[in-house]
Amino acid sequence: MRVLAILLSLLVFTGAVQAQDQDHISINASAQVLLPADMISFRINVNAEADTPQEAYKLHKKRENVLVELLKKHNIKDEEINFEPISINSRHDRSYQNEEKKRIETQQAVILSLESFDIYEEIQVTLIENNFDEFSGNFSSSEKKKGEDKALEKALKIARQKADMIAEETGLTITGIKNINYSYNQRPPRPVNMMERSSMPSTGSLLQFDQTVSVSASVSITYNFEK
């Protein structure tokens, strides 16, 4: 269902009035929004290992080229691709007959934002066939910004309602807001079909079932009041 489902969670601190600040009261509140998982954030680690920097770099570029051709094949747009520059480092491997041997490693992270779940599965199969062994996917949503705004709106309303309730019960009058802070948080999305040298996907895929991701907004508001 492509309808926002609102789950509200509230955490209110009424530790009421601080001794050094007798005309203010602080309220913390949060609200959570469930969004349709219509995208997959796909992280691919391109890496290589060899005895020399030149060999490692050459192997890395070979694998990078495989990935580039794969992205072109599936018409992945520039705005759907984020990547880091290649990093090269050395490590000492002691598994060679108790002798320490220097090995050169390369690493590069590429993150794709995919709207097609079918393409996601096809890319994984091709990566496995070309000796890629580090990649994973997480659900995401194209409505994240809309969800953040909705969660913030709900959190602000909850905070105000609780402030009004506290004021009424304690005989106070709220006169304004001293300050307000807010933040967003996205729960770790459910991992989807994470693969590390795993088998090929079967005909019936779990990706046919609707999934959701959640975003939440938290607010901390200090209200002015008078007795």
> The CATH number of the domain where 24 resides is what?
3.30.110.170
107 shares its domain with 46: yes
Q: Shortest CA distance to 40 belongs to which of 156, 110, 141?
A: 141
Q: Which of 140, 159, 191 is the last residue of a domain?
A: 140
64 shares its domain with 99: yes
Please compute the mean of the pLDDT values over residues 101-128 and round it to a whole number: 90
CB atoms under 10 Å from CB of 87, counted, come to 11
Cα–Cα separations (whole angstroms), residue 48 to 64, 93, 106, 175: 10, 15, 5, 63
* Residue 170, pLDDT above cutoff 80: yes
Of all residues in the chain, the percent with pLDDT exceeding 90 is 56
70 shares its domain with 130: yes
190 shares its domain with 119: no
Q: One-letter amino acid identity for 157?
A: K
* Residue 61, pLDDT above cutoff 90: yes
CATH code of 85's domain: 3.30.70.2970
Please compute the mean of the pLDDT values over residues 137-163 and round it to a whole number: 94
Measured at the CA of 126, the angle between CA 124 and CA 131, to 5 degrees, comes to: 95
8 Å CB contact between 30 and 10: yes
- Whether 204 is in a domain gets the answer no
Q: Please report the beta strands in the chain, taking only residues with DSSP state E, as ranges in sequence order.
A: 5-9, 24-36, 39-50, 81-83, 87-96, 99-114, 135-140, 173-186, 212-226
- Whether 123 is in a domain gets the answer yes
pLDDT band at residue 15 using 50, 70 and 90 as cut-offs: very low
pLDDT band at residue 92 using 50, 70 and 90 as cut-offs: confident
More confident residue, 98 or 63: 63
- Whether 43 is in a domain gets the answer yes
Note down the domain range covering 134.
39-140
97 shares its domain with 187: no
User: Distance between CA atoms of 93 and 106, rounded to whole angstroms?
Assistant: 15
88 shares its domain with 124: yes
- Whether 78 is in a domain gets the answer yes
The string of pLDDT tens digits covering residues 40-56 is: 999 999 999 999 999 99
User: Distance between CA atoms of 39 and 116, rounded to whole angstroms?
Assistant: 7
Please compute the mean of the pLDDT values over residues 130-159 and round it to a whole number: 93
CB atoms under 10 Å from CB of 63, counted, come to 19
Please compute the mean of the pLDDT values over residues 52-69 and round it to a whole number: 94
pTM reported for the whole predicted model:
0.63
Q: Which of 140, 158, 173 is the last residue of a domain?
A: 140
45 shares its domain with 134: yes
134 shares its domain with 45: yes
188 shares its domain with 133: no
How many structural domains compose the chain? 2
- Whether 205 is in a domain gets the answer no
The string of pLDDT tens digits covering residues 186-216 is: 775 554 444 433 444 444 565 666 788 899 9
